């Protein structure tokens, strides 16, 4: 596994995004299965786990606390505040007092004294980013978190935040079919010494090649059904890209998922990836991709095949775009 820096830490370039164990993609796995997957990840050498207060409205943090607390010294723990469940609804709230209260609750659920990397999950447009980051800086001073991150923000917001306190990481969606980070944030991260953490590096399952008909394969509560590029008409066009993509993977002897992850890591050395999965088989498959180094000509072939000009449909609907700060093509 390649190893990369994130703030004061050095971890495997591929970590584990834990959201799907509790949240977002339909019915989550049973607790026993989720716990087993987390233990397998540890056994396979994963040393970077990513969760959030939002996931399962606290249930995901509690799961990680129950399963991973005895091994706390063996991994870097990341969680998020600023977007939580309140009375059964998702709420974005970046007020300093809310962020500090969320951290206190998270520490209890995670069964730890300190969170290694704590992200502002969403920029609350009603609260200056300087105020939200200032509250996180207080938590660093108090020893409750070790490093600060931001999620789904623009380069401008990153620079404003970094002026208040060094930002160790920016986490945003990034994959062959979600390239908005290339507009400005990837370069801003590089200039500031900030790691970039790619969530959904497998295109929310698209790049694995197993999702052929979202309308019939996904349950009604799966968040992908509200994303324009997963609509029947758009997806029918997007899936046509996979034949050539899978041909390239086969030529190289990799799975579709491994090729997608290797592409992300090949983009720049300050990028890490946190694919999520509920499958032990897919977990091991994903981690193996951390050993792959793609030749420049392969990266160029993939760039030309799947990009913002060849993918049909936006990554989010209008309501979600109104809540995030990232640049858009």
Catalytic option among 55, 119, 254, 316: 55
Count of CA atoms in the C-beta half-sphere (13 A) of 309:
4
292 in Cβ contact with 262 (< 8 Å): yes
Give the contacts of 209 (CB within 8 A, at least 6 positions apart). 242, 245, 246, 256, 257
Q: How many CA atoms are closer than 13 Å to the CA of 102, on its beta-carbon side?
A: 30
Crossing angle of the two packed helices 129-141 and 96-110, in degrees rounded to 10: 40
Q: Look up tokens 């951290």; give the residue.
A: 103
- For residue 79, the surrounding DSSP H or E stretch is strand 76-81
Q: 3-class SS at 56?
A: helix
Nearest-10 Cα torsion for 76, 80, 81, 87? -120
Q: Is 55 marked active-site?
A: yes
Residue whose pair of structure tokens reads 């834990």 in the numeric block: 18
- By annotation, the residues acting in catalysis are 55
């Amino acid at each position: 596994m390649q190893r990369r820096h994130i703030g004061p830490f050095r971890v495997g370039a591929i970590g584990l995004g834990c959201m799907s164990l509790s949240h977002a993609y339909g019915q989550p796995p049973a607790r026993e299965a989720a716990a087993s997957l987390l233990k397998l990840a540890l056994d396979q050498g994963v040393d970077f786990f990513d969760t959030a207060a939002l996931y399962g409205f606290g249930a995901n943090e509690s799961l990680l606390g129950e399963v991973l607390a005895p091994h706390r010294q063996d991994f870097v723990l990341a969680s998020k505040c600023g977007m939580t469940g309140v009375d059964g609804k998702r709420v974005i709230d970046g007020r300093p007092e809310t962020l500090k209260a969320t951290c206190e609750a998270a520490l209890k659920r995670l069964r730890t004294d300190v969170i290694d990397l704590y992200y502002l999950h969403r920029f609350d447009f009603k609260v200056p980013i300087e105020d939200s980051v200032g509250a996180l800086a207080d938590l660093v001073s108090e020893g409750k978190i070790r490093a600060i991150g931001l999620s789904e923000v623009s380069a401008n917001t990153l620079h404003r935040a970094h002026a208040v306190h060094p930002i160790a990481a920016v986490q945003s969606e990034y994959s062959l079919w979600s390239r908005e980070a290339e507009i400005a944030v990837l370069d801003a991260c590089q200039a500031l010494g900030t790691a970039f953490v790619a969530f959904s590096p497998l295109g929310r399952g698209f790049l694995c090649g197993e999702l052929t008909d979202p309308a019939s394969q996904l349950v009604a509560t799966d968040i992908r059904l509200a994303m324009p590029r997963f609509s029947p008409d758009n997806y029918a066009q997007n899936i046509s890209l996979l034949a050539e993509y899978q041909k390239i993977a086969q030529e190289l002897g990799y799975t579709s998922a491994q090729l997608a992850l290797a592409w992300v890591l090949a983009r720049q050395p300050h990028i890490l990836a946190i694919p999520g999965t509920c499958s032990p088989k897919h977990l091991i498959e994903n981690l193996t991709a951390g050993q792959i180094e793609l030749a420049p000509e392969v990266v160029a072939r993939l760039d030309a095949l799947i990009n913002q000009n060849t993918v049909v449909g936006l990554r989010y609907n209008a309501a979600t775009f109104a809540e995030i700060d990232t640049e858009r093509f």
